[in-house]
A and B are shown apart, each in its own frame.
Chain A
Amino acid sequence: DSGVTQTPKHLITATGQRVTLRCSPRSGDLSVYWYQQSLDQGLQFLIQYYNGEERAKGNILERFSAQQFPDLHSELNLSSLELGDSALYFCASSVQSTGDNEQFFGPGTRLTVL
């Protein structure tokens, strides 16, 4: 158990809808990362927050947005969903903001868009 929690575990929705994925980092970790994992696509970095502020942006679509709240939990919002958005979404946390530190991954949210 990494100490990172993600809810929900599974999400099934229809095209055009909007969903929110939630992540609680490990106690004491200030940094939260979001990744998308599709079949055979590895881990695609979406966005990073550190202590409430956006720190880095990866290949995140404009239809997607995220935020980190004062209690350090984070939410990833996906809107106008398309079939291609079906994937595993992972959240990871780390103590520091830099990319040269261990990240602890949550169990993921499996999103299915029908």
Chain B
Amino acid sequence: GENVEQHPSTLSVQEGDSAVIKCTYSDSASNYFPWYKQELGKGPQLIIDIRSNVGEKKDQRIAVTLNKTAKHFSLHITETQPEDSAVYFCAAGRDDKIIFGKGTRLHILP
């Protein structure tokens, strides 16, 4: 069946450095690719999303890139800060379903 693979499962970066999380999806009909951030004790919250007609989207320190041919998309966080520490989920959605990756636990080291 369709799935979304997310790597790495855990990522530690020095404060101020960049972090990159990658996802691949199998369903070529997917057209919506959101990223959610889950802080400790809270529900996931959308931080950025991209649709299939766009290759890249940026919002301040966060950017997402999409390669539809290769069926992969990535989240880039620049100038990381302590408040970026959280679990990040990617997902691939289409009209009748959305599938989440297993998550990446990001640690920002002081």
Contacts and interface: CB of A to CB of B under 8 A. Distances in A.
Contacts of B94: 98-100
Interface string A1-28: 0101000000000000000000000000
Contacts of B99: 45
B102 A42 contact: yes
Interface stretch (B11-19, B43-51, B59-67, B78-86): B43-51
Given A100-B31, A100-B94, A105 B100 contact: no
A107 B43 contact: yes
Contacts, number: 60
B49 A102 contact: yes
Contacts of B9: 40
Given A98-B95, A98-B96, A103 B46 contact: yes
Per DSSP, chain A at the interface is loop
Interface size grouping (class) on chain B: 20 to 34
A2 B102 contact: no
Contacts of B98: 45, 99-100, 103
Nearest to B46: A102
A50 B23 CA distance: 28
Contact of A42 (B34, B41, B96, B100): B100
> Chain A CB within 10 Å — which of B31, B43, B89, B96 has the most?
B43
Contact of A99 (B41, B49, B97): B97
Nearest to A94: B98
B8 to A, nearest CB: 13
A42 B9 CA distance: 10
Contacts of A104: 46
16 contacts: A4-B43, A42-B103, A43-B89, A90-B43, A92-B43, A98-B94, A98-B95, A98-B96, A99-B97, A102-B34, A102-B49, A105-B36, A105-B43, A107-B43, A108-B42, A108-B43
Interface of B: 9, 31-32, 34, 36, 41-46, 49, 51, 89, 93-103
